[in-house]
């Protein structure tokens, strides 16, 4: 088991390096520059800017300086767009925000999705089941850029219960709508996967045996059926968790949270090279890390994988 | 040019009256406005929508209209603008101009930084040198170059030490600027944020972090109390500001709301005092909230530019083709049925709202659209384009719903009236800028907002040397007229001629001149609707009790 973890972790390192090199190359190949503006800068002004941000150096020197900064000083460099912030400053601002609403959305999606799926499976072909399936399908097809404004119209404009956006250091009132908007479709997927997997398990022989033995239904479900039914759900939760905590540009735009999702997209649009690289690397590392964790969890659950 | 002396007097008088009134009615301060007598709201806070995060509030690094608004609240330059856009005293009480019109001497008032230090001429010397210093790498150093300050260009090119810049502190309260050549609109240029002072000790102590709320030292009417990128920016009253007695508004909050429809919902929910009206929604907002929907002229134009360089299509080199396309464009349809926000149809490059600019009588402006269409058909046929040999070209704009609508309507007009086939393509902003700069286009969208309120801020763009002349139109007469206008006592004569040449040569197709289209709360007073540059100073606002 230990050697599996070590192997899995070490194999992530080249992946991260390749990620950095490819992002660096793609970014530089995109037309336009961080300093191109409507007016267009005179050459001498452009030269001063390029000198300040090291863009006048050959590309290999740029990437060497960049990697050295990250590895030895954990310094992602200055932002090209936000001139009085470093990329580290921006990551330090945006990541806690994204993590907060991401983790909460995950918790809500799991806490509602799994019980809903189980209940629908247990009450198979009843009105409750139909309602749960209906909700799941509806929630999955309703994109969050439609849901976000609807939530604001209902809870801010009509009911005046919740602030229509902002973050305010993560006060709970500001968290509710982003969490609803982000978690709903995941919740629906989790409920659907749990339901179908639970149905399959409930029809298997060992459950029939348990029923024949006269065990109470609650004990059958919780003690016998739940564990095997959750395996496919867990394989879905790994990537879902990464998606949620790496931020959603839609949530950031509609609720002005100041999270990483919007910084990521804007960094690409602004050609803010250092910010874009910084966010890409952090998101990349997180994705690789959580994939590794999922793999390791799986290996632990299922020894067949540990080969 | 503006009669500065007279204006200074008027403002000084008004300030004095206001100060006396404010003083004598101190007890009733929260109740009534000292000048108008309107009943004031107890909560004097103003909240507005920002499209995007403020990238920087360092006066020497700042770019963009929205960031400048923040900088004008936190810092104050030599001169300010009043609500009509005229120059009024800022840190400078007055200024003198030398005989040879090349040396300006500004006489500063005694005022303080927010930490209590006095604001002196040395602060301006420091800031102006900082703005041109290559080490600062200010993206707006070109503006300092345009101000024609002695040795400015050489310093920016790193050929001279910033200390050689033509600025000097004669004493603590006398600031002298020497120019390379006379520049009639120089005083107006010092209302620009790049020329605002910065506090040397703070900048040197904190480096790039000096603009954080916990570090910043400013000399404006407000101080920064909170700033989270892409969330909000909060400014509160600076008790040390010299004119604090006349400031009514206590707090200014900018909320970043990226989506304009979302912002409109927030306005309706009462979260905002001011927001932009999304394109096309002005008539319906005017109907539902007549006293809160505003549209007023802005100092910006919207046009399409022909690529006249070697890489441009052969067809556009024929002036008849360019004229035909321009004539057949029914600008009234664009402003009345597409943008619908009080924009003005454009037949000249310079907006009519530009200070002291007289709109010249260009021929096609006075024709009816029917006449223009007939003429367009005639010209295009004469140029050899018809059903068998239709004119075809590509037309690009930067990705945006409003631009798309306009481009679609324009191409339909050409299709129906002239049988011209314009193929539309949108490009993401930075790619678009790159394409346009490299002349890799045929017909491209363009727009410009004046940097200062004078026609040359627009017409300089069509000179051969201008970086913004993406169509690479070359006209020696225009170059000469614009060069002369810089020092001429009657520059309008030159501007009129340039506009007439443009109407004859049609290097660009003017479409419309912008309007500011805003929702402004009934209770928020003092919005400078007549300042076409929309130079905003939050301290001039106040809120009335409903």
Which of A148, A198, A141, A137 shows the shortest CA–CA distance to A176?
A148
What's the CA angle centered on A50, arms A45 and A55, to 5 degrees?
A: 165
- pLDDT score, position A305: 64
Q: List the structure tokens of B469.
A: 């002349």
- Confidence tier at B29 by pLDDT (50, 70, 90): very low
The alpha-carbon gap from B138 to the nearest alpha carbon of chain A, in Å, equals: 7
Provide ipTM, 2 decimals: 0.87
Flag if A85 and B58 touch (Cβ within 8 Å).
no
Q: List the structure tokens of A91.
A: 């990551």
The alpha-carbon gap from A195 to the nearest alpha carbon of chain B, in Å, equals: 36
Flag if B433 and A36 touch (Cβ within 8 Å).
yes
What percentage of chain A reaches a pLDDT higher than 70? 97
Q: From residue B163, how far is each of B115, B160, B437 by CA, in Å? A: 27, 8, 34
Q: Which of B231, B397, B398 to mutate to test the interface with A (most CBs of A within 10 A)?
A: B231
Determine the Cα–Cα distance for residues B298 and B343; give it in Å rounded to an integer: 9
**Chain B neighbors of A271, CB-CB under 8 A:** 430
CA atoms within 13 A on the CB side of A208: 4
Question: What is the 8-class DSSP label of residue B480?
Answer: H
Mean pLDDT of B184-205: 94
Inform me whether the C-beta atom of residue B229 falls under 8 Å from chain A C-beta atoms.
yes
Q: List the structure tokens of A47.
A: 């030269």
- Confidence tier at A40 by pLDDT (50, 70, 90): confident
Residue B513 pLDDT more than 80? Answer: yes
Chain B, window 402-461: residues with a beta carbon less than 8 angstroms from a chain A beta carbon? 428-431, 433-435, 437, 447-448
Flag if A84 and B145 touch (Cβ within 8 Å).
no
- Confidence tier at A177 by pLDDT (50, 70, 90): very high
Which among A36, A156, A258 has CB closest to B434?
A36
The alpha-carbon gap from A26 to the nearest alpha carbon of chain B, in Å, equals: 14
What is the overall mean pLDDT for chain A? 89
Strands B251-256 and B45-50: parallel
Residue B87 pLDDT more than 70? Answer: yes
Which of A151, A41, A218 shows the shortest CA–CA distance to B140?
A41
Mean pLDDT of A273-279: 92
Q: Which residue has the higher pLDDT, B1 or B431?
A: B431
Inform me whether the C-beta atom of residue A31 falls under 8 Å from chain B C-beta atoms.
yes
The alpha-carbon gap from B167 to the nearest alpha carbon of chain A, in Å, equals: 20
- Confidence tier at B208 by pLDDT (50, 70, 90): very high
- pLDDT score, position B28: 42
pLDDT by residue (tens digit) across A249-259? 899 989 999 99
Mean pLDDT of B274-294: 94
pLDDT by residue (tens digit) across A100-115? 999 999 999 999 999 9
Inform me whether the C-beta atom of residue B467 falls under 8 Å from chain A C-beta atoms.
yes
Flag if B255 and A42 touch (Cβ within 8 Å).
no
Strands B293-306 and B443-449: antiparallel
- Confidence tier at A141 by pLDDT (50, 70, 90): confident
Determine the Cα–Cα distance for residues B49 and B51; give it in Å rounded to an integer: 7
- pLDDT score, position A306: 58
Which among B55, B211, B434 has CB closest to A81?
B55
Determine which helix (DSSP H) or strand (DSSP E) holds B508, and give its type and residue range.
Answer: strand B508-520
Residue A224 pLDDT more than 50? Answer: yes
- pLDDT score, position B4: 43
Residue A20 pLDDT more than 50? Answer: yes
- Confidence tier at A298 by pLDDT (50, 70, 90): confident
Q: Which of B51, B135, B137 to mutate to test the interface with A (most CBs of A within 10 A)?
A: B137
- pLDDT score, position B443: 97
Q: Which residue has the higher pLDDT, B288 or B12?
A: B288
Indicate the range of A70-74, B102-106, B512-516 predicted with least confidence. Answer: A70-74
- pLDDT score, position A200: 92
Residue B118 pLDDT more than 90? Answer: yes
Q: Which residue has the higher pLDDT, B18 or A137?
A: A137
pLDDT by residue (tens digit) across B345-394? 999 999 998 988 989 989 999 999 999 999 999 999 999 998 899 999 99
Residue A44 pLDDT more than 60? Answer: yes
Indicate the range of A40-54, A181-195, B41-55, B468-482 predicted with least confidence. Answer: A40-54
Flag if A83 and B208 touch (Cβ within 8 Å).
yes
- pLDDT score, position B479: 96
Mean pLDDT of A199-208: 90
**Chain A neighbors of B259, CB-CB under 8 A:** 149, 253-254
Mean pLDDT of B400-417: 95
Mean pLDDT of B63-68: 89
Indicate the range of A54-58, A230-234, B106-110, B518-522 predicted with least confidence. Answer: A230-234
Determine the Cα–Cα distance for residues B101 and B117; give it in Å rounded to an integer: 33
Q: Which residue has the higher pLDDT, B14 or B399?
A: B399
- pLDDT score, position A304: 66
Indicate the range of B10-14, B214-218, B273-277 predicted with least confidence. Answer: B10-14
- pLDDT score, position A303: 65
- Confidence tier at B22 by pLDDT (50, 70, 90): very low
Determine the Cα–Cα distance for residues A12 and A292; give it in Å rounded to an integer: 8
Flag if A31 and B269 touch (Cβ within 8 Å).
no
Q: Which of B131, B206, B230 to mutate to test the interface with A (most CBs of A within 10 A)?
A: B230
pLDDT by residue (tens digit) across B237-267? 999 999 999 999 999 999 999 989 999 999 9
**Chain A neighbors of B255, CB-CB under 8 A:** 165-166, 256
Determine the Cα–Cα distance for residues B113 and B125; give it in Å rounded to an integer: 16
Residue A222 pLDDT more than 90? Answer: no
Inform me whether the C-beta atom of residue A153 falls under 8 Å from chain B C-beta atoms.
yes
Residue B145 pLDDT more than 70? Answer: yes
The answer for A54, left when phi > 0, alpha when psi is -120 to 50, beta otherwise, is: left
* B515-528 exposure pattern, b = at least 16 Cβ within 10 A, e = fewer: bbbbbbbebbbbbb
Residue A128 pLDDT more than 80? Answer: yes
């Amino acid at each position: 088991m230990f050697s599996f973890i070590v192997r899995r972790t070490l194999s992530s390192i080249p992946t991260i390096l390749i990620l950095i090199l490819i992002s660096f190359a793609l970014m530089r190949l995109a037309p336009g520059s961080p300093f191109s503006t409507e007016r267009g800068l005179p050459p001498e002004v452009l030269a001063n800017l390029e000198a300040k941000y090291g863009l006048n150096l050959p590309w290999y020197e740029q990437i060497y300086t960049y990697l050295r900064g990250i590895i030895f000083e954990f310094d992602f460099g200055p932002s090209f767009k936000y001139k009085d912030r470093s990329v580290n400053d921006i990551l330090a601002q945006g990541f806690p925000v994204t993590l907060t609403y991401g983790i909460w959305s995950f918790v809500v999606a799991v806490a509602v999705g799994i019980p809903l799926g189980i209940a629908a499976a247990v009450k198979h072909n009843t009105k409750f089941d139909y309602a749960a399936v209906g909700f799941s399908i509806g929630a999955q097809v309703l994109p969050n850029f439609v849901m976000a404004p609807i939530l604001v119209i209902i809870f801010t404009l009509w009911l005046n219960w919740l602030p229509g956006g902002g973050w305010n250091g993560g006060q709970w009132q500001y968290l509710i709508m982003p969490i609803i908007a982000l978690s709903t479709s995941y919740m629906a997927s989790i409920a659907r996967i749990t339901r179908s997997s639970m149905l399959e398990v409930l029809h298997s022989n060992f459950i029939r045996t348990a029923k024949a033995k006269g065990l109470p239904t609650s004990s059958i479900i919780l003690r016998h059926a739940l564990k095997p039914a959750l395996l496919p759900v867990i394989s879905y939760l790994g990537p879902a968790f990464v998606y949620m905590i790496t931020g959603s540009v839609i949530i950031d735009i509609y609720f002005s949270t100041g999270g990483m999702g919007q910084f990521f997209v804007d960094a690409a649009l602004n050609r803010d090279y250092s910010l874009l690289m910084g966010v890409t690397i952090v998101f990349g590392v997180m994705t690789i890390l959580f994939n590794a964790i999922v793999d390791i969890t799986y290996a632990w659950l299922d020894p067949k994988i540990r080969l | 040019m503006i009669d500065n002396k007279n204006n200074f007097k008027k403002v000084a008088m008004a300030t004095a009256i206001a100060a006396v009134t404010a003083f004598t009615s101190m007890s009733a301060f929260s109740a009534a406005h000292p000048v108008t007598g309107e009943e004031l709201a107890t909560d004097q806070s103003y909240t507005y929508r920002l499209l995007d995060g403020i990238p920087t509030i360092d006066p020497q690094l700042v770019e963009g209209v929205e960031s400048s608004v923040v900088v004008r609240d936190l810092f104050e330059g030599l001169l300010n603008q009043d609500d009509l856009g005229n120059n009024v005293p800022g840190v400078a009480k007055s200024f003198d101009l030398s005989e040879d019109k090349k040396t300006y001497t500004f006489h500063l008032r005694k005022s303080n930084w927010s930490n209590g230090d006095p604001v002196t001429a040395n602060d301006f010397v420091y800031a102006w040198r900082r703005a041109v210093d290559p080490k600062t790498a200010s993206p707006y150093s070109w503006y300092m170059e345009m101000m024609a300050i002695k040795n400015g260009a050489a310093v920016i090119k790193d050929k001279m030490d910033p200390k050689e810049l033509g600025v000097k502190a004669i004493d603590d309260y006398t600031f002298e600027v020497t120019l390379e050549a006379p520049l009639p609109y120089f005083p107006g240029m010092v209302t620009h944020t790049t020329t605002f002072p910065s506090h040397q000790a703070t900048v040197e102590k904190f480096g790039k972090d000096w603009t954080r709320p916990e570090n910043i030292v400013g000399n404006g009417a407000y101080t920064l109390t909170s700033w989270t990128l892409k969330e909000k920016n909060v400014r509160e009253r600076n008790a040390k500001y010299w004119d604090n007695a006349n400031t009514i508004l206590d707090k200014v909050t900018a909320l970043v709301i990226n989506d304009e429809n979302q912002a409109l919902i927030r306005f309706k929910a009462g979260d905002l005092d001011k927001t932009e009206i999304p394109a096309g929604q002005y008539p319906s907002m005017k109907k539902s909230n007549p006293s809160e929907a505003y549209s007023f002229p802005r100092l910006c134009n919207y046009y399409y530019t022909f690529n006249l360089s070697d890489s441009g299509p052969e067809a556009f080199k024929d002036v008849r083709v360019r004229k035909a396309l321009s004539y057949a464009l029914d600008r009234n349809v664009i402003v009345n049925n597409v943008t619908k926000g009080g924009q003005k149809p454009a037949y000249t490059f310079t907006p009519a709202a530009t200070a002291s600019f007289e709109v010249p009588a260009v021929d096609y402006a006075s024709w009816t659209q029917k006449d223009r269409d007939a003429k367009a058909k005639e010209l295009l046929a004469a140029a050899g384009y018809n059903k068998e040999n239709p004119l075809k070209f590509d037309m690009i704009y930067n990705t945006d719903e409003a631009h798309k609508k306009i481009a679609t309507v324009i191409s339909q007009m050409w299709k129906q009236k002239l049988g011209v086939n314009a193929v539309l393509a949108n490009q993401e902003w930075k790619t678009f800028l790159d394409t346009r700069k490299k002349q890799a286009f045929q017909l491209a969208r363009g727009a410009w907002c004046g940097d200062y309120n004078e026609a040359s801020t627009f017409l300089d763009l069509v000179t051969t040397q201008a970086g913004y002349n993406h169509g690479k139109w070359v006209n020696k007469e225009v170059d000469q007229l614009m060069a002369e206008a810089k020092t001429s006592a009657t520059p309008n004569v030159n501007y009129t001629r340039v506009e007439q040449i443009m109407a004859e040569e049609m290097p660009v197709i003017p479409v419309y001149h912008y309007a500011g289209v805003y929702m402004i709360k009934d209770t928020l007073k003092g919005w400078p609707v007549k300042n076409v540059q929309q130079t905003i100073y939050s301290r001039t606002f106040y809120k009335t009790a409903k």
